[in-house]
């Protein structure tokens, strides 16, 4: 939390000293989640989620350069299947949903045709604070999200008529998103898979924003 406060203060100092133009708006979009695990016994499939919240765009005096930041309610989900030791049968399956507060802070560069339209590219860190609890997978395992996580965004998009923005980006987890604690008593699982295994949640994100 101290790091986030320091970053916000640093960005505020930059924008104030540079006399940046600030535009406020609202942003929303879709997540397509991709999960990876540290053990092949887990098999996941992607599901759609969403995010929505206020956003701000800081345009610096240097032509084309800017910073944007958002405060988003974010929901992501994925299906997971737990396979037997031989990998021939599914022992259990479950749909897992995460709800969190996400704060992306991106540096951006835009170029285009005046106020009519512009193309932009952006990248930056994203800070997440989990709101979800623990999820059980039958009598085999428990999944628990980290209380907080750090990820990184890279993407591109377009701005239209100074008010409308559409972007596509990839959100990459930096470190584990959560952890499976496998505690099965089944003979074909215990002594082989029992233990703790990390998982990472990445996502493609399609968003639209309107600036007032």
**Cα–Cα distance for residue pair 137/10, rounded to 1 Å:** 43
> Is the model's pLDDT at 102 over the cut of 90?
yes
Question: Torsions phi, psi of 190, nearest 5?
Answer: -65, 160
Question: Torsions phi, psi of 17, nearest 5?
Answer: -70, -30
CB 91 within 8 A of CB 82: yes
Single out the residue of 78, 61, 84, 76 nearest to residue 126, CA to CA. 76
Question: Torsions phi, psi of 175, nearest 5?
Answer: 100, 175
Model pLDDT, residue 109: 94
Model pLDDT, residue 13: 54
Give the model confidence (pLDDT) of 155-195 as tens digits: 999 999 889 999 999 999 999 998 888 776 665 555 556 77
Mean pLDDT of the chain: 83
The average pLDDT across 124-135 equals: 92
SS3 1: coil
Give the model confidence (pLDDT) of 36-94 as tens digits: 877 665 666 778 899 999 999 998 877 789 999 999 999 998 887 766 666 556 666 77
CB 51 within 8 A of CB 102: yes
Model pLDDT, residue 64: 82
pTM: 0.82
User: What single string gives the DSSP state of each residue in 11-62?
Assistant: HHHHHHHTT-EEEEEEEEEEEEEEEEESSTTEEEEE-EEEEEEEEEEEE-SS
Single out the residue of 27, 34, 68 nearest to residue 207, CA to CA. 27
Model pLDDT, residue 4: 54
Q: How confident is the model at residue 20 (pLDDT cuts 50, 70, 90)?
A: low
Single out the residue of 134, 30, 19 nearest to residue 74, CA to CA. 30
Model pLDDT, residue 63: 77
List all residues 6 or more positions away from 25 whose beta carbon is below 8 Å from its beta carbon.
Answer: 54, 55, 56, 57, 163, 165, 209, 210, 211, 212
> Token digits for 8?
């916000």
Model pLDDT, residue 204: 95
Model pLDDT, residue 46: 73
> Is the model's pLDDT at 16 over the cut of 90?
no
CB 70 within 8 A of CB 101: no
> Is the model's pLDDT at 105 over the cut of 90?
yes
Give the alpha-carbon dihedral of 11, 13, 14, 15, to 10 degrees.
Answer: 90
Model pLDDT, residue 62: 74
SS3 99: strand
């Amino acid at each position: 939390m101290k790091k986030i406060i320091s970053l916000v203060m640093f960005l505020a100092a930059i924008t104030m000293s540079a006399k940046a133009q600030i535009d406020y708006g609202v942003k929303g979009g879709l997540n397509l989640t991709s999960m990876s695990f540290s053990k092949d016994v887990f098999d996941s499939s992607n599901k759609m989620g969403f995010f929505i919240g206020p956003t701000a765009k800081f345009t610096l005096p240097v032509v084309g350069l800017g910073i944007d930041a958002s405060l988003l309610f974010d929901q992501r989900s994925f299906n997971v299947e737990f396979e037997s030791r031989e990998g021939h049968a599914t022992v259990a399956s479950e749909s897992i949903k995460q709800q969190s507060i996400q704060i992306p802070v991106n540096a951006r560069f835009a170029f285009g045709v005046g106020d009519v339209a512009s193309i932009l590219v952006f990248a930056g860190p994203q800070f997440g604070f989990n709101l979800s609890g623990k999820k059980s997978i039958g009598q085999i395992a428990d999944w628990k999200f980290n209380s907080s996580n750090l990820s990184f965004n890279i993407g591109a998009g377009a701005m239209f008529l100074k008010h409308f923005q559409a972007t596509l980006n990839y959100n990459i987890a930096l470190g584990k998103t959560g952890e499976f604690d496998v505690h099965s008593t089944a003979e074909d699982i215990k002594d082989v898979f029992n233990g703790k295994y990390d998982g990472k949640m990445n996502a493609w994100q399609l968003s639209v924003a309107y600036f007032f």
